[in-house]
Structure 1
Amino acid sequence: MRKTTASRSLALFAALVLPFAASAHTGVDGGMHHGFTTGFLHPLTGADHLAAMVAVGLWSALAARRAWPDLLWAPLAFAGMLLAGALMGLAGVQLPAVEPMIAASLLVLGLLVATRVHLPAVVAMAVVGVFAIFHGVAHGHELASEEGAALTLAGMVGATVLLHLAGIALGWALRHANAWLPRVAGAAVVVLGASLLAQAV
């Protein structure tokens, strides 16, 4: 039954991604093909960003005491502050220690996933929101030379939301699974964060 639930979660994620992928490759309106696709694929091209976004959704599902609205506070905060950080990066704003903070975010999020700690909504939003700003600034700097900034950011936020949903679906499927599965997932994120932090400092 649990395997069926996990399979359905993955199928749901694929169903959510495909319409965005199809629209991203139309290439008919002077920017949709380039700007939206670039933004949509950007969070998927770096293991650090990918792991962080999935981990936020995973932790939200594992730690939620109720499905609504506990599942959404942290993902909404991350997506919103990621967009704010990306706008800062596009505007040329420089923040100190961006790469170390991204690595630290993986350490913290991995520990939250592994321990399934429940935090008050305001605290959870603040924790992920601060880290999301640094992820957003990094994205903004990397995309500053791209044309069609609005479409690029729309694609990036769309991919972020879908990655959060993938994490939520996976976390919800694992809520009643063997306790070691979430711990292994969290530990993998921690290891990735630790290796990136060692490179960044």
Structure 2
Amino acid sequence: MLKKVLAVALVAEASLLAHTGHGSVSGFGAGFGHPIGGADHILAMIAVGLWAAQMGGRVLWAVPLSFVLMMLAGAAMGVNGIQVPFIEEGILASVLVLGALIGFGVKMPVVFSSAIVGLFAIFHGTAHGAEMPLNAGGVEYAAGFVLATALLHIGGIAIGFAMHKLSKASRVAGGAIAASGVALVLS
């Protein structure tokens, strides 16, 4: 399922760059490409969906929604030049911590799980906003990275549902995400 989601995302991105020599056709393409352009963003956003699926219930929609909303708040901060310290470290910490939460099978109430991903989303959003191309429209750019993020969350949820019957499989996936975070920190 994840392969299908990423394939659709890549086809959509490629279609937005169809006019060669002109760069991105819109801010949407630039925004869409940012979350899928780095392993740190991809791993964290899939982890959000996987953790939400692992916990189930209201968390299934509340945690990804919290991430998206706080990511938009972070993007607004980044666009407006508001300094958020340790952005890259916060993004890497999101991969490590979310991977560990999945790996250890940690379940939390909606408010705490939403707060955790919301905090990490501020770092991701600030990076998106600060790196917005000067020629990109802000609304289109935000729509692009929100859609890409939502697709990655959905991919994580799909992986979580697929692994539900293999309860240890999602925990192994969480461990792999955390290990990838360590590798990203070391590189």
Gaps of 5+ in 1: 1-8
Length-normalised TM-score, structure 1: 0.81
Q: 1:85 to 1:144 in 2, by over 3 A?
A: farther
Unmatched runs of 5 consecutive residues or more in structure 2:
none
- Offset of 1:196 from its aligned partner? 3.2
Tell me the alpha carbon deviations over residues 159-199 of structure 1, each in whole angstroms, 9 at most, x when there is no partner.
Answer: 111110110011011011151x2232112211222233346
The answer (yes or no) to whether the contact 2:30–2:136 under 8 Å persists in 1 is: no
Shift of 1:14: 6.2
Find 1:34's aligned residue among 13, 21, 26.
26
Cα deviation code 1:17-75 (max 9, x no counterpart): 48955874587xxx9822111111110001001100000000110122x3xx3311110
Q: CA RMSD in A?
A: 2.5
Q: Which residue matches 1:194? A: 182
Distance 2:3 2:89 in 1: 34
Alignment partner of 2:109 out of 106, 116, 120: 120
From 97, 118, 127, the equivalent of 1:108 is 97
AA in 1 matched with 2:148: A
Q: Distance in 2 between matches of 1:129 and 1:57?
A: 13
Contact 2:74 2:123 in 1 (8 A): yes
Q: Is the 8 A contact 1:62 1:174 kept in 2?
A: no
- 1:71-122 alpha-carbon deviations (Å, 9 max, x no partner): 1111000011011101110111111111111111111100111122110000
% identity of equivalent residues: 46
Is 1:83–2:75 an aligned residue pair? no
